[in-house]
Structure 1
Amino acid sequence: MGDISFRSTVHAERLRFTQEPRTAVRFPGTGKRESASHSDRTHLPDPVGAGQEYEDVTVAYRLATGLARES
Protein backbone atom coordinates (compact mmCIF):
# COMPACT_ATOMS: atom_id res chain seq x y z
CA MET A 1 0.00 0.00 0.00
CA GLY A 2 0.99 3.53 -0.39
CA ASP A 3 1.53 6.14 -3.01
CA ILE A 4 3.39 7.93 -0.23
CA SER A 5 5.37 6.23 2.50
CA PHE A 6 7.45 7.65 5.30
CA ARG A 7 9.81 5.89 7.69
CA SER A 8 11.82 7.41 10.50
CA THR A 9 13.81 6.20 13.48
CA VAL A 10 14.81 8.44 16.38
CA HIS A 11 16.92 7.69 19.42
CA ALA A 12 17.43 9.61 22.66
CA GLU A 13 19.79 8.87 25.51
CA ARG A 14 17.39 10.69 27.84
CA LEU A 15 13.87 11.98 27.21
CA ARG A 16 11.39 13.82 29.44
CA PHE A 17 7.93 15.21 28.65
CA THR A 18 6.74 18.22 30.66
CA GLN A 19 3.16 17.31 29.67
CA GLU A 20 1.53 14.39 27.91
CA PRO A 21 1.94 14.80 24.15
CA ARG A 22 -1.11 14.97 21.88
CA THR A 23 -0.47 13.55 18.44
CA ALA A 24 -2.60 13.17 15.32
CA VAL A 25 -2.12 12.16 11.71
CA ARG A 26 -4.45 13.82 9.18
CA PHE A 27 -4.76 13.66 5.42
CA PRO A 28 -6.78 16.68 4.30
CA GLY A 29 -8.19 16.91 0.82
CA THR A 30 -10.65 15.02 -1.31
CA GLY A 31 -10.91 11.38 -2.25
CA LYS A 32 -10.94 8.20 -0.19
CA ARG A 33 -7.60 7.02 1.11
CA GLU A 34 -6.14 3.83 2.46
CA SER A 35 -3.70 4.69 5.22
CA ALA A 36 -1.72 2.91 7.89
CA SER A 37 0.72 4.05 10.56
CA HIS A 38 2.63 2.18 13.23
CA SER A 39 5.38 2.88 15.75
CA ASP A 40 7.72 0.46 17.50
CA ARG A 41 8.99 1.84 20.83
CA THR A 42 11.89 0.73 22.97
CA HIS A 43 11.93 1.89 26.62
CA LEU A 44 9.01 4.25 26.00
CA PRO A 45 5.51 3.32 27.22
CA ASP A 46 2.28 4.28 25.49
CA PRO A 47 1.12 6.63 26.86
CA VAL A 48 4.10 8.42 28.37
CA GLY A 49 3.84 10.09 31.75
CA ALA A 50 4.28 13.82 32.26
CA GLY A 51 7.41 14.58 34.28
CA GLN A 52 8.70 11.02 33.85
CA GLU A 53 12.23 10.53 32.53
CA TYR A 54 13.01 7.75 30.06
CA GLU A 55 16.47 6.52 29.07
CA ASP A 56 17.87 4.81 25.96
CA VAL A 57 14.67 5.45 23.99
CA THR A 58 14.17 4.45 20.35
CA VAL A 59 11.05 5.01 18.26
CA ALA A 60 10.69 3.62 14.72
CA TYR A 61 7.69 5.11 12.90
CA ARG A 62 6.11 4.04 9.62
CA LEU A 63 3.32 5.72 7.68
CA ALA A 64 1.84 4.84 4.28
CA THR A 65 -1.09 6.36 2.42
CA GLY A 66 -2.57 6.34 -1.03
CA LEU A 67 -5.81 6.94 -2.86
CA ALA A 68 -8.22 4.00 -2.51
CA ARG A 69 -8.62 1.89 -5.64
CA GLU A 70 -12.07 1.98 -7.20
CA SER A 71 -13.63 -1.47 -7.51
Structure 2
Amino acid sequence: MYARRLRFTQEPRTVVRFPGTGKRESLSHSDRTHLPDPVIPGHTYQDVTVAYHLATRLAEEPEAGRSGDDDADE
Protein backbone atom coordinates (compact mmCIF):
# COMPACT_ATOMS: atom_id res chain seq x y z
CA MET A 1 0.00 0.00 0.00
CA TYR A 2 1.26 3.47 -0.83
CA ALA A 3 -0.17 6.84 0.21
CA ARG A 4 1.11 10.33 -0.51
CA ARG A 5 -0.59 11.53 2.68
CA LEU A 6 -2.10 9.53 5.50
CA ARG A 7 -3.79 10.72 8.69
CA PHE A 8 -5.42 8.70 11.50
CA THR A 9 -8.18 10.27 13.60
CA GLN A 10 -7.59 7.60 16.26
CA GLU A 11 -5.08 4.83 16.88
CA PRO A 12 -6.06 1.89 14.64
CA ARG A 13 -7.05 -1.47 16.13
CA THR A 14 -6.54 -4.51 13.92
CA VAL A 15 -7.60 -8.14 14.27
CA VAL A 16 -6.85 -11.13 12.04
CA ARG A 17 -9.22 -14.12 12.17
CA PHE A 18 -9.20 -17.44 10.36
CA PRO A 19 -12.56 -19.18 9.88
CA GLY A 20 -12.88 -22.95 10.04
CA THR A 21 -11.65 -25.59 12.42
CA GLY A 22 -8.24 -26.84 13.44
CA LYS A 23 -5.28 -25.38 15.28
CA ARG A 24 -3.17 -23.00 13.18
CA GLU A 25 0.37 -21.68 13.29
CA SER A 26 0.57 -18.14 11.96
CA LEU A 27 3.18 -15.44 11.45
CA SER A 28 2.70 -11.83 10.37
CA HIS A 29 5.01 -8.91 9.77
CA SER A 30 4.73 -5.45 8.26
CA ASP A 31 7.45 -3.40 6.57
CA ARG A 32 6.66 0.31 7.00
CA THR A 33 8.25 3.39 5.48
CA HIS A 34 7.56 6.80 7.05
CA LEU A 35 4.97 5.30 9.40
CA PRO A 36 5.84 4.66 13.06
CA ASP A 37 4.34 1.97 15.26
CA PRO A 38 2.20 3.14 16.96
CA VAL A 39 0.94 6.04 14.86
CA ILE A 40 0.07 9.39 16.42
CA PRO A 41 -3.60 10.32 15.91
CA GLY A 42 -3.97 13.68 14.16
CA HIS A 43 -0.47 13.62 12.64
CA THR A 44 -0.19 13.63 8.84
CA TYR A 45 2.35 11.16 7.44
CA GLN A 46 3.81 11.68 3.95
CA ASP A 47 4.99 9.16 1.33
CA VAL A 48 3.88 6.15 3.37
CA THR A 49 4.46 2.57 2.25
CA VAL A 50 3.22 -0.54 4.08
CA ALA A 51 3.84 -4.13 2.96
CA TYR A 52 1.99 -6.68 5.09
CA HIS A 53 3.06 -10.33 5.10
CA LEU A 54 0.92 -13.11 6.55
CA ALA A 55 1.51 -16.86 6.56
CA THR A 56 -0.66 -19.52 8.20
CA ARG A 57 -0.99 -23.29 8.12
CA LEU A 58 -2.88 -26.01 9.91
CA ALA A 59 -0.77 -27.34 12.77
CA GLU A 60 -2.55 -30.71 12.78
CA GLU A 61 -4.93 -32.73 10.61
CA PRO A 62 -8.60 -31.72 10.97
CA GLU A 63 -10.90 -34.12 12.82
CA ALA A 64 -12.37 -36.91 10.66
CA GLY A 65 -15.45 -35.67 8.83
CA ARG A 66 -14.66 -31.99 9.51
CA SER A 67 -13.61 -29.89 6.55
CA GLY A 68 -14.08 -26.48 8.16
CA ASP A 69 -16.91 -25.75 5.69
CA ASP A 70 -20.29 -25.64 7.40
CA ASP A 71 -22.11 -26.39 4.10
CA ALA A 72 -20.06 -29.51 3.25
CA ASP A 73 -22.88 -31.92 4.18
CA GLU A 74 -25.48 -30.29 1.91
Q: TM-score range by the shorter chain?
A: 0.7 to 0.9
| Rg larger in structure | 2
Identical columns (%): 79
1:22 lines up with 2:13 in the alignment = yes
> Which of the two has greater strand per residue?
1
1:63 lines up with 2:40 in the alignment = no
* Partner SS state of residue 50, structure 2: strand
Partner of 1:40: 31
- TM-align CA RMSD: 1.2
TM-score (norm 1): 0.78
Counting matched residue pairs gives 61
1:52 to 43, 49, 56: 43
Q: Give yes or no for contact 2:22–2:60 (8 Å, CA) kept in 1.
A: no
Superposed CA deviations along residues 3-23 of structure 1, whole A, max 9, x for unmatched, are: xxxxxxx00000000111111
Structure 1 stretches of 5 or more lacking a match? 1-9
- Regions of 4+ moved over 2 Å: none
Partner of 2:67: none
TM-score (norm 2): 0.75
Greater relative CO (CA pairs within 8 A, separation 6+): 1
